[in-house]
Amino acid sequence: MRAYKQVVERVEGQILAGTLKVGDRLPAERDLAVQLQVSRAAVREAMRTLEAQGVVRSGVGSGPDAGTVVSALPSEALTRVLRLHVALANFAMDDVVAARVMLERSSAGLAAAHASAEALAAVAEPLEAMSGEPDRHEFNDLDTAFHIAIAEAGGNRLVADMTIAIREAMRLPILRELEQLGERWPEVRTRLCAEHRAIHDAIAAGDQVRAAELMEAHIHSARRLLAP
Amino acid sequence: MRAYKQVVERVEGQILAGTLKVGDRLPAERDLAVQLQVSRAAVREAMRTLEAQGVVRSGVGSGPDAGTVVSALPSEALTRVLRLHVALANFAMDDVVAARVMLERSSAGLAAAHASAEALAAVAEPLEAMSGEPDRHEFNDLDTAFHIAIAEAGGNRLVADMTIAIREAMRLPILRELEQLGERWPEVRTRLCAEHRAIHDAIAAGDQVRAAELMEAHIHSARRLLAP
């Protein structure tokens, strides 16, 4: 087995066994290298693997306190993985849209059932800015923020993280579609804003079924509106 | 920015822009190091990041042909990320179960609608072995294989990969629960086998609604049966 893999397997094994927990500090690079009889370069390579998985963060603190800490960054890791594989067309766009419908139906229903006043305010906030005259880039960022706020409001961390990862993976493809709209842009923007507002209102009214139905209709409608 | 990150961002940028595709070979380590004016160690660290994301595979071929190739391994990458974060308790078990119900309802319904004869045979195969006298470890492997075969049969690659990642992340926690069953084990095994058989039959009959309902009931039933 290659040297860095030994280090990865040691740390992953301790995580799976429950002996390493979020917030725990890993031994210093040179100590890990001595313990496992590998080079410091191999330890550094292993840390890159674990960082990419969102389970450690390097360079926390400075001076003698600098080190690598076990972390909880699953959303970032999932987002990076999905974004790259969507770009590589490892997932067909229809499959991505179907998965998005399933996740966001669930998120919208959960948000209608559970959203706190604070979470609901976070859903409403991008809608205000969208009703101004955002350009396509700003609109896309606000649209992403709206869908992420609903996922967060639902309160299921895993569903939210998968929803966020898929929406983030769509950010670039959707921006390209927005840029190709030409003179249809104001009309499409008005239509999407109205759909967003209706979803917000169903969530605010606590209507789970309607929130889920409107979300599904919105995702399909947006696909049709943006299709070249 | 740290040197390895420059390399990661260069390769990710080319993937997102569509200039690097699955099957393309990256430049040799020493060439990448010269191009980006970083050390070869930094290039190696970057490859560990990209490997962990399932977008490249190193050490393909040998001799002068050895190299790093752009790859499509999203399922493995998602599985490793979710397994580690479930172990770190970054996701509450109730949230994981709710996400699993949502995904596997969808998978079972898709499988009932779309499963080929071959895919259906792959769903049936672990059931045969389970009806023998597998020990808990074998049972858990067969159970995992059954749920994965249904996800594959549904034909949505992204839904399948997320389903697989979550079921794989549950493998160790479920094995621990099976081991704590004591003398209830034969009764629980018989019950779970009957539920699996009913799900298989609904999929084989092409009954989407029934397949989805039975899958949801099975996941909740298994939670209750295995709860300590």
CATH number of B43's domain: 1.10.10.10
Q: Which of B52, B91, B159 sits opposite A95 (nearest CB)?
A: B159
Strand pairing partners for B67?
Answer: B60
- Whether the per-residue pLDDT at A145 is higher than 80: the answer is yes
Asked if B98 and B92 touch (Cβ cutoff 8 Å), the reply is: no
Looking at the structure, do residues A121 and A194 belong to the same domain, yes or no? Answer: yes
Residue A218 CA to chain centroid, in angstroms?
20
Indicate yes or no: CB of A98 within 8 angstroms of CB of B159.
yes
Last residue of a domain, one of B44, B70, B96: B70
| CA-based nearest distance A16→chain B, Å | 5
Which residues in B lie closer than 8 A to residue A22 (C-beta atoms)? 88-90
Looking at the structure, do residues B185 and B148 belong to the same domain, yes or no? Answer: yes
CATH number of B182's domain: 1.20.120.530
Looking at the structure, do residues B154 and B62 belong to the same domain, yes or no? Answer: no
Looking at the structure, do residues A83 and A29 belong to the same domain, yes or no? Answer: no
The mean per-residue pLDDT over the stretch A123-141 comes to 91
| A119 vs B89 pLDDT, higher one | A119
Last residue of a domain, one of A23, A40, A70: A70
Long-range contacts at B217-226 (CB < 8 A, ≥ 24 apart): B218/B192, B219/B97, B219/B100, B219/B101, B219/B104, B220/B97, B220/B101, B221/B191, B221/B195, B222/B192, B222/B195, B223/B97, B225/B188, B225/B191, B225/B192, B226/B174, B226/B177, B226/B178, B226/B181, B226/B188
Indicate yes or no: CB of B96 within 8 angstroms of CB of A158.
yes
- Whether the per-residue pLDDT at A173 is higher than 90: the answer is no
The nearest alpha carbon in chain B to A94 belongs to B156
Element (H, E) at A70: strand A67-70
Looking at the structure, do residues A104 and A19 belong to the same domain, yes or no? Answer: no
Looking at the structure, do residues A139 and A65 belong to the same domain, yes or no? Answer: no
Rounded (10°) CA dihedral A175, A177, A183, A186: -50
Looking at the structure, do residues A50 and A144 belong to the same domain, yes or no? Answer: no
| pLDDT tens-digit map of A46-59 | 999 999 999 999 87
Asked if A148 and A164 touch (Cβ cutoff 8 Å), the reply is: yes
pLDDT confidence of residue A92: 85
| A168 vs A228 pLDDT, higher one | A168
Indicate yes or no: CB of A87 within 8 angstroms of CB of B16.
yes
For A117, the token pair is 């006043």
pLDDT confidence of residue B64: 55
Last residue of a domain, one of A13, A41, A70: A70
Element (H, E) at B68: strand B67-70
Which residues in A lie closer than 8 A to residue B92 (C-beta atoms)? 157
Indicate yes or no: CB of B95 within 8 angstroms of CB of A18.
no
Looking at the structure, do residues A25 and A89 belong to the same domain, yes or no? Answer: no
The nearest alpha carbon in chain B to A24 belongs to B88
Q: Which of A15, A81, A87 sits opposite B87 (nearest CB)?
A: A15
At residue A89 the predicted structure's pLDDT band, cuts being 50, 70 and 90, is confident
Q: Which phi and psi (to 5°) does residue B214 adopt?
A: -65, -35
Q: Which of A22, A48, A99 sits opposite B158 (nearest CB)?
A: A99
Indicate yes or no: CB of A88 within 8 angstroms of CB of B22.
yes
Which residues in B lie closer than 8 A to residue A53 (C-beta atoms)? 52, 80-81, 84
For B22, the token pair is 């699955």
Which residues in B lie closer than 8 A to residue A157 (C-beta atoms)? 90-92, 95
Indicate yes or no: CB of B81 within 8 angstroms of CB of A85.
no
- Whether the per-residue pLDDT at A113 is higher than 90: the answer is yes
Q: Which domain holds residue B50?
A: 3-70
pLDDT confidence of residue B65: 57
Instruction: Choose the mutation target among B11, B12, B48, B56 for the interface with A, i.e. most A CBs under 10 Å.
Output: B48
Question: Which pTM value belongs to this model?
Answer: 0.86
Q: Which of A12, A21, A48 sits opposite B84 (nearest CB)?
A: A12
Looking at the structure, do residues B157 and B47 belong to the same domain, yes or no? Answer: no
Looking at the structure, do residues A99 and A169 belong to the same domain, yes or no? Answer: yes
At residue A64 the predicted structure's pLDDT band, cuts being 50, 70 and 90, is low
Indicate yes or no: CB of B48 within 8 angstroms of CB of A45.
yes
Indicate yes or no: CB of B82 within 8 angstroms of CB of A74.
yes
The nearest alpha carbon in chain A to B81 belongs to A53
The nearest alpha carbon in chain B to A87 belongs to B16
pLDDT by 10s per residue, chain B, length 228: 789 999 999 999 999 888 999 999 999 999 999 999 999 999 999 999 999 999 999 876 666 556 899 999 988 999 899 889 988 988 888 899 999 999 999 999 999 999 999 999 999 999 999 988 889 999 999 999 999 999 999 999 898 889 888 888 888 888 889 999 988 999 999 999 999 999 999 999 999 999 999 999 999 999 999 886
Looking at the structure, do residues B47 and B63 belong to the same domain, yes or no? Answer: yes
Domain total in chain A: 2
Looking at the structure, do residues A140 and A161 belong to the same domain, yes or no? Answer: yes
Q: Which of B92, B157, B172 sits opposite A91 (nearest CB)?
A: B157
